[in-house]
């Protein structure tokens, strides 16, 4: 697919010019760029009705995991009595955000975060080699990706951020069945945004919009995530 056709790069929207100069779509394209975590439900989109066959309209059916593509994890994902997606106010998915570039090509570690001006309530989005290498949008799961270390997760939790985002399908190191980063953040009520793509997004301050589907009892939901400033 010609990536120029996706129009992921910075765009201007006439109705929003007075408020935002730059808008970035950081969502992955379902069905081609998105990644299926091992043993999770794969994505499919099938036609139920077509204009050609019915003379009426096109209707399709989606099958996918709530953790497919760009998605947000609520505490209930790992915490038995944690909040589910539908228990959040919609404004809790519109947040001041900071895009941070991570130089380490193995993991996000505390020393890269300590010098940063991280404020309580901020959303932190980590731009790593996952985006630079194209791994974020490769469409095939790779066991070798930049993940969030346990000590970095603990540091973010102590900073009391509201959301943490990473440019891959999961924040934890592949094969660690304790899922320490997930548990550390979610038990503190910190939302996790996974599967974003940040290659063309400059570091800096933004407003993050990542509205999930309103799923009753949902532990996660796909989102259309954008950054604006």
Q: Indicate which residues carry an active-site annotation.
A: 77
List CB contacts of 75: < 8 A, sequence separation 6 or more: 82, 83, 186, 187, 189
What gap in Å lies between CA 92 and CA 75, rounded to an integer? 14
141 by Cβ neighbours in 10 Å (0-12 / 13-18 / 19+) ranks as: middle
CA distances 61 to 27, 50, 56, 224, Å, are 21, 12, 16, 19
Give me the half-sphere count of Cα atoms (radius 13 Å) on the Cβ side of residue 5.
3
Residue 136 contacts residue 151 (beta carbons within 8 Å): no
């Amino acid at each position: 697919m010609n990536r120029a056709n996706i129009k992921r790069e910075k765009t201007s929207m006439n109705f929003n010019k007075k408020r935002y100069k730059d808008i970035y779509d950081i969502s992955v394209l379902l069905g081609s760029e998105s990644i299926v975590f091992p043993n999770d439900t794969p994505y499919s989109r099938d036609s139920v009705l077509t204009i050609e066959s019915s003379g009426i309209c096109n209707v399709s059916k989606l099958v996918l995991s709530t953790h497919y593509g760009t998605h947000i994890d609520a505490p209930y994902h790992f915490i038995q009595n944690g909040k589910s997606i539908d228990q959040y106010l919609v404004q809790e998915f519109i947040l001041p955000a900071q895009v941070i570039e991570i130089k380490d090509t193995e993991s996000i570690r505390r020393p890269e975060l300590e010098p940063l001006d991280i404020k309580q309530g901020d959303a932190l989005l980590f731009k790593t080699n996952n985006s630079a290498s194209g791994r974020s949008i490769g469409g095939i799961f790779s066991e070798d990706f930049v993940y969030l270390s346990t000590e970095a997760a603990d540091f973010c939790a102590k900073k009391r951020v509201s959301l943490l985002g990473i440019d891959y399908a999961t924040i934890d190191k592949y094969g660690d069945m304790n899922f320490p980063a997930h548990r550390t953040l979610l038990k503190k009520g910190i939302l996790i945004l996974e599967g974003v793509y940040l290659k063309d997004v400059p570091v800096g301050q933004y407003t993050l919009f990542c509205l999930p589907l309103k799923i009753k009892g949902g532990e996660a939901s796909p989102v259309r995530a954008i950054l604006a400033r």
